[in-house]
Amino acid sequence: MSKLDINKIRSDFPIFADKSLIYLDSAATTHKPKQVINAISNFYSNYYANVHRGIYELGMKATEAYQSARQNIANFINASDWRSIVFTGGTTESINLVAYSWARKNLKTGDEILITEMEHHSNIVPWQLAAEETGVLLKYIPINTDGTLDLSNIDKLITSKTKLVSIIHQSNVFGTINPIKKIINHAKKVNAITFIDAAQSIPHSHVDVQDLDCDFLAFSGHKMLGPTSIGVLYGKTELLDSMMPFMSGGDMINSVTMTESTWNDIPYKFEAGTPKIAQAIGFGAAIDYINDIGIDKIHDYEQSLLKVALEKLKSIDELEIYGHQTGENGAVISFNLEGVHPHDLAQFLDQDGIAVRAGHHCAQPIMNKLEVSATIRASFYLYNTEEEIDKLCASLRKTQSFFN
């Protein structure tokens, strides 16, 4: 087992004071260490004020903390310019921002958007709506039933008609880590814009936007120890500069007259209204927490948990694991137990204090491919332990014997 000071880590999370909780749903959202909770509480208690407005000390302190969170996040993904970091409500909003402000303005009938059958609904529906309004064709890279992308026809799928390629980095169902660099390089050959949905990868691995050279990338704070309702749209500055605002109102303008307005510089142009100040500060503290441990160490630890979990789950008869047959995978395992409906199974596990997600995981095209209506999903993070995997397996076996 790769080493993390797991007792120290668990003691940082107030929720785990409840020793009976086995939380295996971090792909949905993660718990928060006290460092994040305290950073938010400290802001509200000691220097709360609006940002970009008050020429008074509190306002300046709040603005400084907000800006420093942005810089922190830029460093975390190796963005060369903090102006590339737009704060949004989360991955979903980041994708919608681009669907409205870029796709609807730049695409026309005859153009094509390419996504995959592996996407979370939030990287499908915004493009469906944009495609419908613009007359653009939405195409899909198919998936194999082993949970990988079928890239055999990538040259036929990415053509001179392809204007946008938007791909999930790590599957929230299978854990599959997709070869996004390879796909980005294909897209570049035809000058298509590239968008990476990194909601499931950035919390668990080192992602470098300069190395990927993607045009856009999105992720959510709540999936990486931060608060809800904050996320990031990373965009290349020249692209963000060229785009029209998504939402409009205060803070995003340069000047307003009765007849027209001009826009603030990026990223503020895309952050209308009082920003998500407390959330950004909390998100910055989450990044600090991850940095203090080290994202590579977290990744290695999760990989060793994944290996153990796969081994132990595979030893349970009539348990089918989806994916995880080849390549690189994150610590997310979807499975079903023969003869037990996933929702029933989740309820049984819950009685043993085990929180897993049951359902379609907002990825119905994957469920259709697998010909199942739902799966159970266990997902792991830095605070999970091998002992919890044992308890999961014991509870699964117990449920199995109940149904047989």
Nearer to ligand 7TS, 264 or 330 (CB): 330
302: which 2 tokens?
């999760």
Check if the beta carbon of residue 166 is closer than 8 Å to that of residue 192. no
Nearer to ligand 7TS, 102 or 400 (CB): 102
Catalytic status, residue 214: no
**Shortest approach of ligand 7TS to residue 159 CB, angstroms?**
26
Nearer to ligand 7TS, 91 or 148 (CB): 91
**Catalytic residue among 125, 129, 151, 362, which?**
362
Of the CA atoms within 13 Å of residue 284, those in its CB half-sphere come to 21
163: which 2 tokens?
């204007």
β strands within 49-179, DSSP E: 85-88, 112-116, 137-141, 162-168
Closest C-alpha to 290, from 52, 79, 30, 113: 30
Nearer to ligand 7TS, 334 or 395 (CB): 334
Determine if residue 251 is left, alpha or beta; phi over 0 gives left, psi from -120 to 50 gives alpha, anything else beta.
left
Nearest-angstrom CA–CA distance, 146 and 177:
13
β strands within 89-151, DSSP E: 112-116, 137-141
How many CB atoms are located within 10 Å of the residue 80 CB? 11
Nearer to ligand 7TS, 4 or 97 (CB): 97
Q: What are phi and psi of 8, to 5 degrees?
A: -65, -45
Nearer to ligand 7TS, 4 or 204 (CB): 204
Check if the beta carbon of residue 263 is closer than 8 Å to that of residue 269. yes
**Shortest approach of ligand 7TS to residue 360 CB, angstroms?**
10
Nearest-angstrom CA–CA distance, 128 and 400:
41
Q: What are phi and psi of 136, to 5 degrees?
A: -85, 150
**Shortest approach of ligand 7TS to residue 89 CB, angstroms?**
7
52, burial (CB in 10 Å: exposed 0-12, middle 13-18, buried 19+): middle
Nearer to ligand 7TS, 177 or 319 (CB): 177
Q: Which residues bind ligand 7TS (CB under 6 A)?
A: 27-28, 90-92, 120, 122-123, 168, 172, 197, 199-200, 220, 231, 357, 361-362
How many CB atoms are located within 10 Å of the residue 359 CB? 17
Question: Which residue numbers are catalytic?
Answer: 362
